[in-house]
């Protein structure tokens, strides 16, 4: 009898199963032995590795003006990158992208895409929606988008020099944006994550800012000036309600702040500002009891100091009182007052007014003042009327605020103060209330008197006061008579000043109505008046109604 075939194959199958099992046991033993050996040969120290998500960008708080109107915010945007390992034709990619995004360097992109070991190459950060769509429509393999936060500035060029800019990673690199990073008010994020940070509220009033910029632009066109600046400051707190330099820069455009044709003339440069300094000279002498407003000085002849001669543009031909020296803007009279006070007293007074040391605001450092290398008798005389001492307009505006606010020093700021902190926000007392009242009187007379240099700044009902300044610009071989900086510093309402205004025009030219002149009374003063007429209603400064005499 024969056995079934199934039974004949059972023995070899059982042997094969035992062989496989034995092999697995031997392999497990070998692995176990190797692990034991590695454990015994180790140094005994424990090592671990971990991977943390890397933040690709930063979420930033909104920036708003003092009334809550939006100045800067984050918006989601597409950023374009390439994976060189899967780019099929780098020449085609470089050429077609350069046609679509004209500012792309095609040769540099070819070089980057040639490295197939790289898996990620940024091509352009923060594309506009229309740009992203055009790139998408190319359909090129190896290109892709990543969503990121991009900074947007709805007010455009209105506040470019102040708000500054961010880099492609959305980190602040200048202006208020850099200040936000320095104070730790940003969050590292991945992708366009909505911020939970409270808005940064500036002291700027966008309505006032727009009016100032608009009038600066019009004045530059009218007087064919190379540039201009304007500032409106709270006289008590130092809050800056408007700060502008023309030409402006648009922070929405990459590298805008590097434009050499649009420097920051408000706090980025220092200039000799001319007869504005006469207010400081007279305040110094009044505060130290050296003069009164009725003290007379002989200004009938030029003042000669060594090889230097100081003269008046329009000599009065008679002695002038201190009051008249201010209104007529007499260089000779101001020099006499400063020489009477002396060099040491002048230096100490300017230091007390905050003009000899560098200052900074939230928008960055203010250009440091340029003092004379030797401060002697000649320098004392010329500084009395604003030559030989260069300072940023913003810094001189802060000193002028102290002259009219009752004598309290202020620190300029772009950050809005809370209402509860506005009282007493000013700094130390730097001169007496009596002196401040006298300066107010002089500034108002300079605008209301028929022969006042600031008469063209008068705006009916708003009680503006001020002082003009015309300074020749230094050049090769000395000062350039036909190239000047003309300025007007004022305050309103003059009986109890709430706001300080400073405007400057760089290299203005004669225009209709100036009779060929380029002095500040002919251009900077009417510019200041035009600004006051527009901003006073915004600021709540009501015109005073003057009843006719019956």
**Which residues form the catalytic set?**
275
CA–CA dist 405, 437 (Å, integer): 9
Residue whose token pair is 């009279």 = 333
Are 417 and 201 spatial neighbours (Cβ–Cβ below 8 Å)?
no
Tokens of 247: 């030409």
Q: What is the 3-state secondary structure (H, E, C) of 96-136?
A: HHHHHCCCCCHHHHHHHHCCCCCCCEEEEEEECHHHHHHHH
End-to-end CA distance of the chain: 154
379: three-class secondary structure by DSSP: helix
At 14, phi and psi to the nearest 5? -65, -35
Count the alpha carbons within 13 Å of 340 in the hemisphere toward its beta carbon: 19
- Return the closest-CA partner of residue 114 out of 147, 87, 92, 95: 87
Specify the residue for token string 């002149």.
517
Burial 506-541 (b: 16+ CB within 10 A, else e): bbbbebeebeebbbbbbbbbbbbbbbbbbbbebbeb
Residues near 177 by beta carbon (within 8 Å), at least 6 away in sequence: 60, 72, 151, 163, 164, 165, 166
Q: Return d(Cα 502, Cα 504) in angstroms, integer.
A: 7
**Which are the contacts of 207, defined by CB distance < 8 A and separation ≥ 6?**
535, 538
| 285: its two tokens | 């002498």
| DSSP-based three-state secondary structure for 138 | helix
């Amino acid at each position: 009898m024969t056995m079934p075939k199934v039974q004949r194959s059972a023995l070899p199958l059982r042997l094969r199963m035992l062989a496989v099992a034995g092999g697995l046991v031997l392999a497990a033993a070998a692995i176990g032995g190797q692990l034991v050996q590695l454990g015994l040969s180790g140094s005994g120290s424990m090592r671990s590795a971990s991977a943390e998500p890397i933040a690709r960008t930063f979420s930033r708080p909104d920036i708003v003006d003092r009334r809550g109107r939006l100045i800067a915010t984050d918006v989601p945007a597409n950023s374009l990158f390439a994976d060189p390992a899967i780019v099929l034709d780098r020449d085609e990619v470089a050429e077609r992208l350069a046609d679509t995004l004209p500012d792309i360097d095609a040769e540099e992109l070819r070089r980057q895409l040639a490295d197939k070991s790289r898996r990620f190459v940024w091509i352009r950060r923060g594309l506009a929606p229309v740009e992203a769509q055009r790139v998408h429509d190319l359909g090129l393999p190896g290109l892709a988008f990543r969503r990121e936060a991009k900074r947007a500035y709805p007010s455009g060029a209105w506040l470019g020099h102040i708000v500054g800019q961010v880099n492609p990673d959305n980190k602040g690199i200048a202006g208020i944006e850099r200040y936000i990073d320095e104070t730790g008010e940003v969050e590292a994020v991945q992708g366009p994550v909505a911020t939970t940070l409270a808005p940064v509220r500036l002291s700027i009033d966008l309505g006032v800012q727009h009016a100032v910029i608009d009038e600066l632009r019009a004045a530059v066109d009218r007087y064919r000036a190379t540039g201009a600046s304007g500032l409106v400051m709270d006289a008590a707190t130092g809050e800056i309600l408007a700060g502008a330099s023309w030409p402006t820069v648009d922070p929405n455009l990459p590298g805008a702040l590097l434009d050499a044709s649009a420097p920051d003339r408000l706090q980025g440069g220092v200039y000799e500002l001319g007869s504005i300094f006469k207010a400081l000279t007279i305040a110094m002498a009044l505060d130290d009891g050296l003069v009164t407003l009725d003290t007379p000085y002989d200004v009938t002849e030029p003042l000669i100091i060594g090889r230097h001669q100081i003269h008046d543009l329009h000599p009065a031909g008679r002695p002038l009182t201190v009051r008249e020296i201010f209104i007529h803007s007499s260089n000779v009279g101001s020099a006499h007052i400063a020489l009477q006070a002396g060099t040491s007293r002048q230096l100490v007074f300017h230091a007390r007014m905050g003009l000899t040391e560098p200052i900074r605001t939230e928008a960055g450092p203010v250009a440091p003042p340029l003092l004379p290398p030797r401060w002697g008798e000649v320098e004392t005389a010329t500084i009395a009327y604003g030559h030989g001492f260069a300072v940023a307009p913003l810094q001189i505006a802060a000193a002028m605020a102290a002259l009219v606010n009752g004598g309290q020093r202020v620190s300029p700021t772009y950050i809005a103060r809370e209402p509860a902190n506005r009282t007493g926000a000013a700094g130390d007392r730097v001169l007496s209330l009596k002196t401040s009242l006298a300066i107010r009187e002089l500034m108002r007379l300079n605008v209301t008197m028929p022969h006042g240099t600031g008469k063209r700044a008068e705006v009916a009902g708003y009680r503006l006061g001020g002082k003009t300044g015309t300074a020749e610009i230094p050049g090769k071989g000395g000062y350039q008579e036909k190239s000047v900086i003309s300025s007007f510093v004022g305050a309103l309402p003059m009986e109890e000043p709430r706001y300080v205004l400073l405007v400057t025009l760089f290299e203005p030219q004669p225009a209709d109505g100036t009779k060929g002149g380029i002095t500040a009374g002919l251009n900077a003063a009417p510019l200041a008046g035009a600004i006051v007429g527009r901003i006073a209603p915004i600021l709540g400064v009501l015109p005073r109604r003057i009843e006719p005499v019956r």
